[in-house]
Structure 1
Amino acid sequence: MTAQVTTSEHVLGRARWAARAYQRYPATEVARIVSAVAAAAQTNARRLAESAVAESGRGVVTDRTRTHTACANAAHEFHDGPDLLSPRMNPARALVEIPRPAGVVLSLLPAHSAFAHGCVAALFALMTRNAIVIRCPAGEPSCAEGVRLLATSAVAAGAPDGVIQCLTEQPPPPATDLLTHGRVDLVVATPVPTAEAAPAAGGVPVLVDAAVDPSAVAAQLMDSVSFDNALVGGTESVLVVTDGVAEPVTAELSRRGAAVLDAAAAGQLRRYLFADGTPAPDAAGRDAAWIAHRAGIRVDPATRVLVAPFDLAVPEEPFVRGSRAPVLGIVRVPDVMRGVAAARSVVRARGAGLAAAVHSTDPAVIARFCTEVPVARVVVNAACTTAGRDGDAGLVDAVAAGMTIAGRQSPGLRPEDLLSWTTVTSTGTRPGVIAQLATMESRVAEHGPVPPYPVASNAREGGR
């Protein structure tokens, strides 16, 4: 690999060089590179999880390992999702659309669970023939190590040097400068990209109506809210429960390891978690007993989740804001329609939401919830963190839901967000000529390695 440089100007220049080369790679070469990088992430999933939890003191190693492994499997999007590398034909309009990569993607990672986000961003970029520069948080050195590992794997599989890079310049350039940098084509960010604290993009409501099994709902909620101590984006944070099932659900939560607080204890927790009106950064990713101790609340050391009741789902209520901690606010409503309104209020307290969940057997309730609660992702009768196509696939969706393209109002990231489509049409060309474009491979593999990005000798580390 090229001698390493660390300034943002050199890193972004090298990324531009790599992007131009990588955009010419045929689909077969892209597939090999994506698979190699995913395999490297999966092989090192547990080691990087152990390092991240040890560095920050936040999260759970086994859960973080599952998240890293699931995010490595985001490569399945390349094989199972829509074809984002080949031209597509629209016979009715006699036109062809050709995919055009964004170019250089900049990814600004959150302060915690950073490598999972970086892995997803890197794989999505590679799937769409983009180069990516990832700014890792200072509090998780293992994230930078992981990104460099992905970069090495990509180059070993034939990618141009610099297609994945970690921005390690110290002190780091301001995020505002990076967002407007001329060599950056697209920015992927979490809801609070410039904060060193864990971002909280607002509460994630979960509506439970009277027709569900309280035991099953409580089991899913406990597993989800306690997963990695709620560091996964889109974890349930506000339980909206109808009066008819409120008592059975809270009883089941308590039986499964939750501490259901009374009004006085809930007040103590509120004062600790939201002392200045925003979620306490030091509580993010800590376990429930740790948080209870800091709030002056006595609970069983084995407590998995703190359940805090409050009266109204209004913006003035701190518990509707989310905290990235194993804390579940709970508000009771007389019926499901009031519940839908309460869930909508939770989301609107902070604008567009990441996710929401509804547990119901009534299709009309589910449909109304999905249409009226403004979120990027709705989970039905399942846990937000692990609901998905199979196994832990939902973890990828949960991580991706917490990322977005800078400047876009709605959260959520998909591979197709990292490219655009060029429309090719002509009224003066025979339709057959245009149609042939959809079956042609315009990108041809280069013979031999891509020449490295030229770096001046005095810009290399150590001056060599």
Structure 2
Amino acid sequence: MENYDYDLQSIQETRELARAGKAAADILAGYNAEQIDRIVQNMVRIAEVNAAELAALAVEETGFGKIEDKIFKNRLASTELYESIRDTKTIGVIHEDKTNQLIEIAEPVGLLMGIIPSTNPTSTTIFKSIIAIKARNGIIFSPHPSSKKSILRAAELMHAAAVEAGAPEGIIGCVTKPSMPATQELMKCDEIAMIIATGGSAMVKSAYSAGKPALGVGPGNVPAYIERTADIPKAVANIIASKTFDYGTICASEQAVIVEECIRSQVIAEFERQGGYFMNQEETAKVAAKLFVKGHAMNSRLVGRSPQVIAEAAGIQIPTGVKVLLGEQQGVGEKFPLSYEKLTTVLAFYTVQDWREACDLSVGLLRNGGIGHSFSIHTQNHDMVMEFAQKPVFRILVNTGSTQGGVGASTGLAPAFTLGCGTWGGSATSDNVGPQHLINIKRVAYGIKDCTAQSTYSVPTPQPPKQQEDALLLNLVDELVSILQKSGDC
């Protein structure tokens, strides 16, 4: 195949992976719960052992993020995930309703296609591999070209671990020659039963237009509102820890901080004390000019980078020890570039008069590229939490960093690296995606109501139009004769 053009080689490889994956998935569909758990446990063990190697490889290849944080993500996608899904029923009878005499039985979806982003390459590959196998599915990965080495390595490790524990060969595969034609071919392959897409908006939309079931996610653009009753030092600490985690590569990370005028000076002072640098208007314009290309598409060279790298690229000077850059904005949209999603260590900063203005601004930011995803609020007022729970998002994260909160590291949400945005965000689910989304459920239903009794209501037999006219005429004649008899004329 070496004599063929790269794109043709890529397409042919994709077809071969899909055929092998489908054959393996058909075999895996016959495994029992004990066999599947043994396989998943071994995958988790191998992911844990290789977490550091994979993290270093991802940073080396992409330049995004921090090794120590990617290690944490790899462990969240394996060990923490397993603790969360260990008892999730995905095989055989998963529920029985004795009152209504219903039995629910889980069946696998089949062969999945996993689209993997460059921002979270190894953790997302580990995550999707484990939830796929937990639900008795195979999976073939289409990697982002800029992170193909790290994604391929993670997929190889997961495949080897699965096979070692008894899974069939080919159950997890990865395209080694990624290309757009190959991705499109894999989406259309008859062997693929469902697509799980994590990546840019264009790729996710493409997955949904492939003509088969898909689970996709949208962008974040998460607002973080520090309400007047908040514990300000703690709120700022949470936001900085969240935004600097892996240098902001997770889509659930904060994108804008909103504060009320009455606590503005305290919040600014606390940010500066904890490593925030407030850029002046000129510096903000320089940074924004470097952050975005072609409108508000982010410059890939500054995704997941430290403030120092960003400052150098923009030609501005910042103090030693800065952890995050903040730029004040007065509105949302094209004239206010920091109002868009920024998967790096830069935050927009807004000042409002009260919570009502914060409401309106939050909705504006969400509609500017984050609808359905997540919202963060720092407050001691539960009524305020419930007020903001009405906003158009599916994760309202309270008194926690939105990065760690959204992926389930600091909250009770399910650990996940695929965060649904619901129909508001163009997604088929609003959940943190897990193995329960990767099964079909069939139902055994016993008859519990007697529908054999005949109705006692009899419907008159309709007469043809001619018979109806004749009957009316006879009635009229009878009435006329009766009248004439009474008058003595007949």
Question: Into which bin does the TM-score normalised by the smaller protein fall?
Answer: 0.7 to 0.9
Q: Indicate yes or no: 2:31 matched with 1:20.
A: no
Q: Indicate yes or no: 2:193 matched with 1:175.
A: no
Q: 1:358 aligns with which of 360, 373, 377?
A: 377
CA contact (8 A) 1:124 1:414 kept: yes
How many angstroms does 1:398 deviate by? 5.9
**Aligned position for 1:146:** 154
The DSSP-based 3-state class of the residue aligned with 1:11 is helix
**Aligned position for 2:139:** 132
**Aligned position for 1:69:** 75
Cα distance between partner residues in 2 of 1:91 and 1:390: 34
How many angstroms does 1:300 deviate by? 2.1
CA contact (8 A) 1:15 1:131 kept: yes
Cα distance between partner residues in 2 of 1:388 and 1:125: 21
Q: Indicate yes or no: 2:98 matched with 1:91.
A: yes
Q: Aligned partner of 1:327: which letter?
A: V
CA contact (8 A) 1:70 1:392 kept: no
CA contact (8 A) 2:70 2:246 kept: yes
Q: 2:61 aligns with which of 55, 61, 82?
A: 55
**Aligned position for 1:157:** 165
| 1:336-369 superposed Cα distances (whole Å, 9 cap, x missing partner) | 1221221121111126343221111111110121
CA contact (8 A) 1:67 1:395 kept: no
How many angstroms does 1:283 deviate by? 0.8
Cα distance between partner residues in 2 of 1:115 and 1:403: 22
Cα distance between partner residues in 1 of 2:143 and 2:84: 24
Cα distance between partner residues in 1 of 2:172 and 2:329: 46
**Aligned position for 1:121:** 128
| 1:253-308 superposed Cα distances (whole Å, 9 cap, x missing partner) | 11111111122221222222124212212110111111111112211243211011
Q: 1:327 aligns with which of 338, 346, 352?
A: 346
Give the structure, 1 or 2, with the largest relative contact order (CA under 8 Å, sep 6 or more).
Answer: 1
Q: Indicate yes or no: 2:424 matched with 1:416.
A: no
Residues 425 and 398 of structure 1: is their aligned pair in 2 closer, same or farther, counting only changes over 3 Å?
A: closer
Q: Indicate yes or no: 2:387 matched with 1:379.
A: no
Q: Indicate yes or no: 2:51 matched with 1:45.
A: yes
CA contact (8 A) 1:305 1:326 kept: yes
Q: Aligned partner of 1:427: which letter?
A: G
Q: Indicate yes or no: 2:234 matched with 1:209.
A: no
CA contact (8 A) 2:21 2:139 kept: yes
Cα distance between partner residues in 2 of 1:83 and 1:167: 31
Residues 361 and 353 of structure 1: is their aligned pair in 2 closer, same or farther, counting only changes over 3 Å?
A: same
Cα distance between partner residues in 1 of 2:231 and 2:445: 56
Residues 13 and 174 of structure 1: is their aligned pair in 2 closer, same or farther, counting only changes over 3 Å?
A: closer
Q: Aligned partner of 1:53: which letter?
A: V
**Aligned position for 1:308:** 327
Greater Cα shift, 57-66 or 352-361:
352-361
For this pair of structures, how many residues does the alignment match?
Answer: 422
**Aligned position for 1:261:** 279
Residues 416 and 83 of structure 1: is their aligned pair in 2 closer, same or farther, counting only changes over 3 Å?
A: same
**Aligned position for 1:102:** 109
Cα distance between partner residues in 1 of 2:55 and 2:419: 21
Structure 1 segments unaligned to the other structure (5+ residues): 430-464
Cα distance between partner residues in 2 of 1:413 and 1:307: 32
Cα distance between partner residues in 2 of 1:136 and 1:127: 22
Cα distance between partner residues in 1 of 2:33 and 2:324: 46
Residues 249 and 86 of structure 1: is their aligned pair in 2 closer, same or farther, counting only changes over 3 Å?
A: farther
| 1:358-414 superposed Cα distances (whole Å, 9 cap, x missing partner) | 111111110121222x22322110111223898667897462327999973556422
The DSSP-based 3-state class of the residue aligned with 1:216 is helix
CA RMSD in angstroms, aligned pairs only = 2.8
**Aligned position for 2:256:** 238
Q: Aligned partner of 1:413: which letter?
A: V
How many angstroms does 1:195 deviate by? 6.3
The DSSP-based 3-state class of the residue aligned with 2:42 is helix
Residues 394 and 255 of structure 1: is their aligned pair in 2 closer, same or farther, counting only changes over 3 Å?
A: farther
Cα distance between partner residues in 2 of 1:251 and 1:204: 23
| 1:101-123 superposed Cα distances (whole Å, 9 cap, x missing partner) | 11011000012221111111111
Residues 134 and 194 of structure 1: is their aligned pair in 2 closer, same or farther, counting only changes over 3 Å?
A: farther
The DSSP-based 3-state class of the residue aligned with 2:327 is strand
Cα distance between partner residues in 1 of 2:86 and 2:69: 26
Question: Structure 1 length as normaliser, TM-score?
Answer: 0.84
Q: Aligned partner of 1:205: which letter?
A: P
**Aligned position for 2:266:** 248
How many angstroms does 1:320 deviate by? 2.1
How many angstroms does 1:139 deviate by? 2.0
| 1:33-86 superposed Cα distances (whole Å, 9 cap, x missing partner) | 111001101110001111111122221111111111111121223225x42224
Cα distance between partner residues in 2 of 1:400 and 1:122: 12
CA contact (8 A) 1:234 1:398 kept: no
Cα distance between partner residues in 1 of 2:288 and 2:256: 14
Cα distance between partner residues in 2 of 1:172 and 1:351: 26
**Aligned position for 1:437:** none
| 1:300-347 superposed Cα distances (whole Å, 9 cap, x missing partner) | 243211011101245653222212111111111111122122112111
Cα distance between partner residues in 1 of 2:309 and 2:393: 31
Q: 1:337 aligns with which of 337, 353, 356?
A: 356
Q: Aligned partner of 2:256: which letter?
A: V
How many angstroms does 1:426 deviate by? 3.5
Cα distance between partner residues in 1 of 2:412 and 2:73: 10
CA contact (8 A) 2:127 2:416 kept: no
Residues 396 and 95 of structure 1: is their aligned pair in 2 closer, same or farther, counting only changes over 3 Å?
A: closer
